[in-house]
A and B are shown apart, each in its own frame.
Chain A
Amino acid sequence: MASISLLNPKAEFARAAQALAINISAGKGLQDVMKTNLGPKGTMKMLVSGAGDIKITKDGNVLLHEMQIQHPTASMIARASTAQDDMTGDGTTSTVLLIGELLKQADIFLTEGLHPRILTEGVDKARVKSLEILDGMKIPIEIDEKSLSDIARTSLRTKVHTGLADLLTNVCVNAVLAIRQEGKQVDLHMIEIMEMQHKTATDTSLIRGIVMDHGSRHPDMPKRLENAYILTCNVSMEYEKSEVNSGFFYKTAEEREKLVLAEREFIDLRVKKVIELKRKLCDGTDKSFVVINQKGIDPTSLDMLAKEGIMALRRAKRRNMERLALACGGIAMNSFDDLNESHLGYAGLVYEHVLGETKYTFVEQCKNPQSVTILMKGPNKHTLAQIKDAIRDGLRAINNAIEDKAIVPGAGAFEIRAYNKLMQFKDEVKGKVRLGIQAFAEALLVIPKTLAVNSGYDVQDTIVKLTEEDRLNPDPIGLDLSTGEPMKPVDMGVYDNYIVKKQILNSCSVIASNLLLVDEIMRAGMTSLKG
């Protein structure tokens, strides 16, 4: 009888072995769901809701979000995986697999009577050791197209099919290289991701400029301009009725009219300032003028601008203000007082593309753009969603590599090497603690094991071959998924992010240890207490 039931007879509880069994089964259950998705040969899951909404994905994090997880332990593991995604953008499936496997391995020892505390001590030792091993395997990189492509490709191939992955790799790497400034952190927000439900996924491309999902709202405005000055601003060109209860302030209707006119004129003045500048700069040359405003532009103002041949866009995204300034140059203006040429940006080509009810405006041919757009295309929503998730992860992988200035060999090479080293390390440790290290080492093998299963190879066969090869070879050895034979990931260009592996090792051992140390689970709601 647990002490809680003295206090609250309605409380549900599970103790010791039972509690552990609950936690372990949750870990295993989640592992079973996710393991088929690991690696480039893993299957995709297509989720169909009751109303027919379709979602196709392979991304561990997306899957965990789509599943309704009720089990408290499972949702804890899922949270660890989400945290992994937030931190690094990759390795979510691996996290779930590793936690599940660690619990499974621990279970073997625990049923034989080992105290969980001793086991977790071993796990922690193993974690520290494997981080050392990981550091030893780091390969420092130059930030160039090749090494970034390798890392992006490895990540993307686990998310979408090969052809598309290679295309996206190219797109993502070029995007990051375009916006990267030496000595500064890369701000991924400066890569706009725009979607068009149109054509096929392989038409996805990188636009060296900005694409906006709105166009000019006036029939007479030009749809295509070359050699354009770009004015980005955050200035209202919209006449707004004053909110004050008007009745109190005017004596006569004429007076009221006058006030309205005066307010209108105030807006007109702003528009005229823009027109003036346009006339000064463009008249008599082949140059043209584009206004992109974060605030509104009302029909009257649009009309005035259209008469001058100015293309005007209203209600631009807040973030596009920053992006436009980086892509075209110029400054986002907050007022039109002393507006001059130095405030303007430049684009070689600005044109509009209409798709159904949505207009897209392309701002291209910028000089040295430091903000770019990835234009995703796909025939339907779920394809677009899939590409979007993949692109986000690809960009993160590249960014991680740039920040780490290092990468580690992929294809299970780290796990194999760590296993061998940990097994040696185990013998140097005295006492039962070494069992924890053994459990950790065995658990790491789940990654290459699952990779082998998903590609259709025999597990034992593969693991034996790999560990053997690794022991004999100073270079890291990974699994070649197309042949099932050992290979050198460095030769094949298969790399993982250092930070991803590090994060996995840390979070998995902590979560698993916590779960193992649980000796009582209780559910006692507040229901019987008065609020």
Chain B
Amino acid sequence: MTSTREIITLQFGNYANYVGAHWWNIQESGFSYDPNGEPSEIDHDVLYREGVDYKGQVTYTPRLLLVDLKGALQHLPELGTLYESEPSTSAAASTSDRLESVQSSIPWDSEGVEVIKKEPQVKPEFQKDLDDPHVDITEKDYDFSTNAKTWSDFLYARYHPRTINIVKNYQHSDSVNSFDTFSNGSRIWQNEYYEDDFGDKIRQYMEECNNCQGFQTIFDCANGFGGLSLKCLEYLNDEYSKVNLAVPVFNPRSVLFENSDEPLANSICVVNTALVYSHLVEQSSLIVPLSTADRAWRQIGAPRHFPLLNYKSDNLYQTSAILASFLDTISLRYRLKNPVSSCYLSNFCSDLNNYGRKLTAAALGLPFSMRSDEDLIDCLDKLEGSMFTQISPNSKIGTDYIVQSACIRGIPKNRLKRPSKQAQRQMKMAAYKCESVSEMLQLYFQCSNHASLAHVSAVEAPHPVKIPYPMEMFDPRLNFEGFLEDINRIEDQKLISVPVVATVQCSGDLSDTLESLHREASRIKLSKIHRFKETGLESDEYVEVLEHLLNFKDNYDDNFDL
């Protein structure tokens, strides 16, 4: 049966939406509109849906629901711009025109209407240029890393009107977060809107699916959105009992909460995180926490080092792009066309979560470091250390007893090894008999990790790099296809793609991760933080949560053999 294997994506929280915006951008910059070109190896229907707007135009939008605070959208209307009844031209002129037409259509005395207008948000240059078919966006430098005020500024993808949901009770702000506690977030779910309307939107997506694989949820872990997303996961389990992939993300910039100084804000973050982790054990099939910082419980740690990347550690735009690249690569396993039996989200999760080890660690090689004159076989032969950088907070993965699922993309077939005539030295290597990229990488993992299991998917198409992706992060020595050269790339040649490798790993070492979280969390006296109690979290419950974390840790301590 070759019906599509749909997945519904949910994003909760501002930083999650940054990551999401990049992810959808990456996917759309990989779309090929060339009818004669080779069909893509990726089945975009897994995450996207086809629709029709009010004028009968066909649309192709992410099967996505996102939640953010009021004011976080800036210039983006809640319903998106895709399904507008009349086409909008330049922003300022059209709004006043539209207002007038709306006003005249009200069947009421026209003096009876009082217009309360907020200052119209100026669309950033990039969004204006997207509306204008005459401007080529690839020719310009928008400098998003300093200019982007929120994720909608660099959003290339267009969302379905169903997609955006706003938490009206809280105002978004860059400096102070008022949506503070886990329990606050849980309470938001209880109001009418989420129980009915939000649930109904999920149902509508679900109704369209022929063969839904499950859900993937990306959410901010350390603030109120954690509670909201956990409630939502609970709802999904009750209602649909499908596979749930949970991706908690950690904002690399420490944000203060309302009426709190730094130590208090940090404590709140720790409590929130502990609550999220312990609830996720029940409510998700697999947990893949992501952060570009090495530690995230109490204070944001030092940024992770990528050998060929240069990014600002607290820049939301750049760091979220790194996480999005990871998601885009790792998700290839369940997004491939012509699926073999193991290419489902459920297989992805069940491969890794044996013995209830649902918490995993993510690692990424961005770009996969390979010289332009090398073959994969040589590259792996010479490789010292790891090809990955860890991107899960407080996690260190050893080299032995690990289970992992890796994806590699962007290594063309002809770069695997030399044909036998020119092979010379390569002939002697054990890997020379491997016929495909995935096979060779599999062998590599087998040899370098003792007593480990690995699943490898390989895709030939590289990771596209196009505006609005932060291409300024990459080392200038990469050539246009992302392979390493000795000299810098010439100025006017643009980077168009990079090879990437990503993996999700699970090993006994993750018990340290949980241990450290438990240690931090148990040090906090919950009764000193009034806002938790005010929003309905009792100390007893917290004690239970801590115990739950310890029990969860035990899953990693027992030395099961694989």
Which of A49, A54, A161, A300 interacts with B107 by CB under 8 Å? A161
Contacts A46-B115, A163-B107, A296-B212 given; indicate if A531 touches B263 (C-beta within 8 A).
yes
The reply to whether A54 and B102 form a contact with Cβ atoms under 8 Å apart is yes
Cβ-based interface call for B550 (8 A): no
The reply to whether B114 and A36 form a contact with Cβ atoms under 8 Å apart is yes
Question: Which residues of chain B have C-beta atoms less than 8 A from A46's C-beta?
Answer: 99, 102-103, 113-116
Cβ-based interface call for B87 (8 A): no
Question: Which residues of chain A have C-beta atoms less than 8 A from B51's C-beta?
Answer: 357
Question: Which residues of chain A have C-beta atoms less than 8 A from B211's C-beta?
Answer: 238, 298-299
Question: Which residues of chain B have C-beta atoms less than 8 A from A527's C-beta?
Answer: 259-261, 264
The 8 A CB mask of B85-119 against A (1 = contact, 0 = none) is 10000010001001100110111100111111111
The reply to whether A530 and B264 form a contact with Cβ atoms under 8 Å apart is yes
Cβ-based interface call for B73 (8 A): yes
Stretch in B15-23, B131-139, B443-451, B522-530 touching the partner:
B522-530
The 8 A CB mask of A281-309 against B (1 = contact, 0 = none) is 00000000000000010111000000000
From 36 to 78 in chain A, residues with beta carbon under 8 angstroms from any chain B beta carbon are: 36, 42-54, 56, 65, 68
The reply to whether B210 and A357 form a contact with Cβ atoms under 8 Å apart is no
The 8 A CB mask of B343-373 against A (1 = contact, 0 = none) is 0101101110010000000000000000000
The reply to whether A53 and B212 form a contact with Cβ atoms under 8 Å apart is no
The reply to whether A526 and B77 form a contact with Cβ atoms under 8 Å apart is no
The reply to whether B95 and A52 form a contact with Cβ atoms under 8 Å apart is yes
Question: Which residues of chain A have C-beta atoms less than 8 A from B103's C-beta?
Answer: 46
Which of the four size classes fits the interface of chain A? 35 or more
The 8 A CB mask of B520-541 against A (1 = contact, 0 = none) is 0000100011100000000000
CA distance A399 to B106 in the complex (A): 29
The 8 A CB mask of A14-30 against B (1 = contact, 0 = none) is 00000000000000000
Cβ-based interface call for A421 (8 A): no
Which of B85, B203, B267, B524 interacts with A317 by CB under 8 Å? B203
Question: Which residues of chain B have C-beta atoms less than 8 A from A337's C-beta?
Answer: none
The reply to whether A52 and B77 form a contact with Cβ atoms under 8 Å apart is yes
Can you name the residue of chain B whose Cβ is closest to the Cβ of A36?
Answer: B114
CA distance A68 to B261 in the complex (A): 24
The reply to whether B54 and A244 form a contact with Cβ atoms under 8 Å apart is no
Cβ-based interface call for B28 (8 A): no
The reply to whether A214 and B95 form a contact with Cβ atoms under 8 Å apart is no
The reply to whether B98 and A52 form a contact with Cβ atoms under 8 Å apart is yes
Can you name the residue of chain B whose Cβ is closest to the Cβ of A528?
Answer: B261
The reply to whether A525 and B113 form a contact with Cβ atoms under 8 Å apart is no
The reply to whether B206 and A296 form a contact with Cβ atoms under 8 Å apart is yes
CA distance A46 to B110 in the complex (A): 11
The 8 A CB mask of A360-401 against B (1 = contact, 0 = none) is 000000000000000000011110000000000000000000
Question: Which residues of chain B have C-beta atoms less than 8 A from A45's C-beta?
Answer: 113-116
Question: Which residues of chain A have C-beta atoms less than 8 A from B108's C-beta?
Answer: 44, 161
Question: Which residues of chain B have C-beta atoms less than 8 A from A315's C-beta?
Answer: 203, 206-207
The reply to whether A56 and B113 form a contact with Cβ atoms under 8 Å apart is yes
Which of B56, B206, B267, B354 interacts with A245 by CB under 8 Å? B354
Cβ-based interface call for B243 (8 A): yes
CA distance A87 to B103 in the complex (A): 33
The reply to whether A51 and B114 form a contact with Cβ atoms under 8 Å apart is no
Cβ-based interface call for B557 (8 A): no
The reply to whether A314 and B207 form a contact with Cβ atoms under 8 Å apart is yes
A-B pairs, top 9 by smallest CB distance, nearest first, are A50-B121, A531-B264, A315-B207, A531-B267, A525-B259, A357-B52, A357-B51, A51-B77, A48-B117
Extra 18 A-B pairs, beta carbons < 8 Å, given A46-B115, A379-B85, A525-B259: A45-B115, A46-B116, A48-B117, A51-B75, A51-B76, A51-B77, A52-B98, A52-B120, A214-B207, A217-B208, A243-B346, A243-B350, A298-B3, A314-B207, A357-B52, A381-B79, A527-B259, A531-B524
Q: What are 9 A-B pairs at a CB distance below 8 A?
A: A45-B114, A45-B116, A48-B99, A50-B75, A201-B107, A214-B207, A217-B210, A246-B341, A531-B267
